[in-house]
Structures are given as C-alpha cells and as structure tokens.
C-alpha cells in the first residue's frame, strides 16, 4: 500500500461522499499501521488493540476535545461531564448515575414495550413508511424526555435543538457557516428552554430527573447552573441521537441480511445478543478524541503531553484481530458462552457510556417487536441517504415497505 492510498483513505473516512460506507477506508487505515497521521495534527487510531489501550488509560484526557475540534467556535457547549476529568467528572456523573443503573433502567421496560407496540400498530397499518421518523426517533426521544420530565408537547422542540447540536459535535472545519449558526442558536435555545424548566421544577417538584438534579443542587451538592445545563445537554443529545441511529442501523442491517432476520424471527431471545452485535457491526458513534496528559507510549509510539489522537471506534469494531469474520453480521456473536471480543461502541474507561443499559433495552425491545410482528420489509433505496454527520453517524431517512403477519391485529 502506498502513501497516496493511505492519504485517500484518511480523506474518504471523513468525506460525506463515503458516509454510507466508511468501512472500506477504515480497512485501509488499519492495514497502514496502528497510528496514521490524521487531520488537525492528530494521529488516527483505527485498530482495536490501540483503541482499547488508549480508552482504558485515564492518562489520556477527553477535556481538550473542544479546543481541538471547535477552536474558534465562540459558543461554549455547556460544560458537560463527558468533556471533564476528575474530580468534576466524578461529582457530576455521580449525580445522574443512579437514574441509569441496570436495575432502574429495567423498570422502564414496560413503558418501552408499550411505546414500541403503539408505534408498530401505526407502522403496520401504513405499510409504506420512513422508519427513521416512525420508529427510530420517537422511541428514544420519548423515553429520554419522559425520564427528564420534558412535557410531551415540547418533545419535538427538544428534538430540533438536539439535532443541530449533534451536527455541531463534528469538527468545525467540516461545518458550513449555516450549520455553525444553527448550533449557536440551538445552544442558546437549549439553555433558555432547560433553564426555564429547571426553574419550574424548583418551584414545583415532580417525580423526574430534572427535579432530582435541582434538589441535589439545593441539598448542597455543588453544581453550578451552567453545569446543570451541561448535564442536561449531554443526557438529551447523547441520550437519543445515538440510539436513533442504533435502531435505524439495526433495521437496515436486518433488511440487508434476510438469513439473519429469519434467525431472529425463529429465536426472538437472540435480541439481547443481537443488540450488541448491531452496536459492533455499525456503531452509532464513529469516533472520539483523546489528548495525552503526560509523555505516553502505546504500541511502541511515543506521544508528548498535548498530542491528540482520534480513536476510530467503529473501525476498531471491524478489526479482524479482535473479531473473527468482522464484516459479517452474526446476531448470536454475543450469545452466552460465545466469548466475543469487546466492542467499543459505548467507549471504555472513565467516560464509558452512562446510558448503555437504556440503549440496550431500547434496542432489545425493538428487535423483539420486529421478530414478533414483522414478516417482511423491503428497502426503497439502498443505500439510503446519510446525514453528513461524522461523529454521530446515521441515515437521514429509511423508507421501507413493511408487512406484518396476517394474524396481527393491525
């Protein structure tokens, strides 16, 4: 492989033209070596071994991402703990972590099942639908908004703000002036909207997460108003933009692989393993960054303090050194006893995704409903159109013709 091929793969891995399939470029990058010179003076980390080593090691910081990707943005994304280090990270993450334990999240199963059943009633009655709008968005958006305590009539407004912010997580140099403006506006709207909602909950507490956070604040746990907004921002944006793509990626993968779809229908219990396999196979979050706090050596390469890397999580998940037959969707890969490698779709280490149990639950419940209620679906356009988003990657629509079973009440 020559230097030109590698350079081209670096370009393709970020190019909107290849957003529908960055995996070919990732393969070239993995073959080029453990570290490949990347944009913004970074080194790209395409392989599982080094990605895992870096994510696990807290001497690599995530606090410099804003400086790296949004150097002159002029707009402060409120200080979310995703971009903090201990002790601030520990304090703020601790305040919300109770709401996301496996046990607490299991308590949401009934509500998730009810929502999914309702959505499928409508979808199957229509037959011809955009599954992004009719399934992938409503489930995670409704659940995270209900958890926080956002009134139903405001869910759509939250979705609009959050979409513009999610696009704004990409490096500024990839964003158009209109997208940068939209992000600034959305952050201001977000702060006004959630600042107002927090005030309402201070005055009139309810049984929701915003009330729990303002009460913790009142009980003397240190949290500034900006930190409260930052915490809400990461819960809203990370809490649904990602899961939307997981659901859409999962449906797309099943449509493209009828044998695996049949396997799921024959054994709906596979849904638990299938959720993790879909996370591995087509990760919703493609990359993250880390900056060395001190001199560090990984796989023989030395990094000076301040050196930054872009960890290609979705590429690590397709690394043949970590996963046999990595480009194959194998819904049973994570079944008990199979000892599959660890995918990095939820990150690893200090910043490991807080919402992982919720995301897994949402996907499992969706897959069980698909297994039970859908007899066939056909894609109207393959590949479907993708959003330009690099970090949180996914389709912009997913038009399908879908059929249920005859005995389905709809």
Q: Tell me which residues touch ligand HEM (CB under 6 A).
A: 62, 81-82, 93, 144, 234-235, 238-239, 242-243, 246, 284-285, 288, 345-347, 351, 353-355, 358-359
Helix axes 209-218, 88-97, angle to 10 degrees: 130
| Structural element, H or E, at residue 183 | helix 177-203
Output 34 or 355, the one with its CB closest to ligand HEM: 355
Are the C-beta atoms of residues 231 and 159 closer than 8 Å to each other? no
Which residues make Cβ contacts (< 8 Å) with residue 98, sequence separation at least 6? 104
To the nearest whole angstrom, how small is the minimum distance from the Cβ of residue 19 to ligand HEM?
17
Q: Which residue is nearest to ligand HEM (CB)?
A: 355
To the nearest whole angstrom, how small is the minimum distance from the Cβ of residue 235 to ligand HEM?
5
To the nearest whole angstrom, how small is the minimum distance from the Cβ of residue 359 to ligand HEM?
3
Output 32 or 52, the one with its CB closest to ligand HEM: 52
Output 93 or 201, the one with its CB closest to ligand HEM: 93
To the nearest whole angstrom, how small is the minimum distance from the Cβ of residue 238 to ligand HEM?
4
To the nearest whole angstrom, how small is the minimum distance from the Cβ of residue 247 to ligand HEM?
8
Q: How far apart are CA 403 and CA 410, in angstroms?
A: 10
Which residues make Cβ contacts (< 8 Å) with residue 360, sequence separation at least 6? 272, 275, 276
To the nearest whole angstrom, how small is the minimum distance from the Cβ of residue 357 to ligand HEM?
9
Output 32 or 275, the one with its CB closest to ligand HEM: 275
φ, ψ of residue 310 to 5 degrees: the values are -110, 115
End-to-end CA distance of the chain: 55
Nearest CA among 151, 372, 362, 392 for reference residue 272: 362
Output 6 or 212, the one with its CB closest to ligand HEM: 212
To the nearest whole angstrom, how small is the minimum distance from the Cβ of residue 74 to ligand HEM?
23
Output 14 or 248, the one with its CB closest to ligand HEM: 248
Output 212 or 358, the one with its CB closest to ligand HEM: 358
Output 353 or 374, the one with its CB closest to ligand HEM: 353
To the nearest whole angstrom, how small is the minimum distance from the Cβ of residue 2 to ligand HEM?
32
What are the CA-CA distances from residue 297 to residues 54, 313, 315, 373, 379 (Å)?
A: 10, 20, 21, 52, 47
Collapsed DSSP state (helix, strand, coil) of residue 106: helix
Q: What is the residue-wise DSSP string for 187-250? A: HHHHHHHHHHHHHHHHHS--SSHHHHHHHHHHTT----HHHHHHHHHHHHHHHHHHHHHHHHHH
């Amino acid at each position: 492989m020559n230097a030109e091929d590698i350079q081209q793969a670096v370009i393709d891995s970020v190019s909107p033209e290849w957003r529908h399939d960055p995996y070919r470029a990732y393969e070239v990058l993995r073959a080029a070596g453990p570290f490949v010179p990347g944009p913004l003076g970074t080194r790209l980390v395409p392989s599982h071994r080094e990605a895992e080593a870096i994510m696990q090691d807290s001497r690599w910081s995530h606090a410099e991402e804003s400086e790296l990707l949004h150097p002159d943005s002029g707009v402060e994304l409120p200080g979310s703990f995703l971009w903090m280090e201990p002790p601030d990270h520990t304090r703020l993450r601790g305040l919300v972590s109770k709401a996301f334990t496996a046990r607490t999240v299991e308590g949401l199963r009934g509500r998730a099942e009810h929502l999914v059943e309702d959505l499928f009633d409508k979808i199957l009655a229509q037959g011809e639908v955009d599954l992004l709008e009719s399934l992938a968005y409503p489930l995670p958006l409704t659940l995270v908004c209900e958890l926080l305590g956002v009134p139903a009539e405001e869910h759509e407004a939250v979705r609009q703000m959050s979409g513009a912010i999610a696009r704004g997580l990409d490096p500024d140099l990839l964003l158009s002036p209109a997208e940068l403006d939209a992000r600034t506006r959305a952050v201001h709207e977000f702060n006004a909207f959630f600042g107002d909602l927090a005030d309402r909950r201070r005055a009139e507490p309810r049984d929701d997460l915003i009330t729990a956070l303002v009460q913790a604040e009142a009980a003397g746990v240190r949290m500034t108003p900006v930190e409260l907004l930052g915490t809400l921002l990461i819960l809203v944006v990370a809490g649904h933009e990602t899961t939307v793509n997981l659901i859409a990626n999962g449906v797309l993968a099943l449509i493209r692989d009828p044998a695996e779809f049949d396997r799921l229908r024959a054994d709906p219990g596979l849904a638990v393993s299938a959720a993790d396999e879909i996370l591995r196979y087509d990760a919703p979050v493609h990359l993250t960054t880390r900056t060395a706090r001190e001199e560090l050596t990984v796989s023989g390469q030395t990094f000076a303090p301040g050196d930054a890397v872009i960890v290609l999580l979705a590429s690590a998940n397709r690394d043949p050194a970590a996963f046999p037959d990595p480009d194959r969707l194998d819904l049973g890969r994570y079944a008990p006893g199979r000892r599959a490698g660890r995918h990095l779709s939820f990150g690893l280490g200090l910043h490991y995704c807080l919402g992982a149990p919720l995301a897994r639950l949402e996907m499992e419940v969706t897959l069980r409903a698909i297994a039970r209620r859908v007899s066939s679906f056909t894609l109207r356009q393959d590949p479907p159109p993708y959003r330009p988003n690099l970090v949180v990657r996914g389709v912009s629509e997913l038009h399908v013709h879908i059929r249920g079973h005859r005995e389905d009440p709809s």
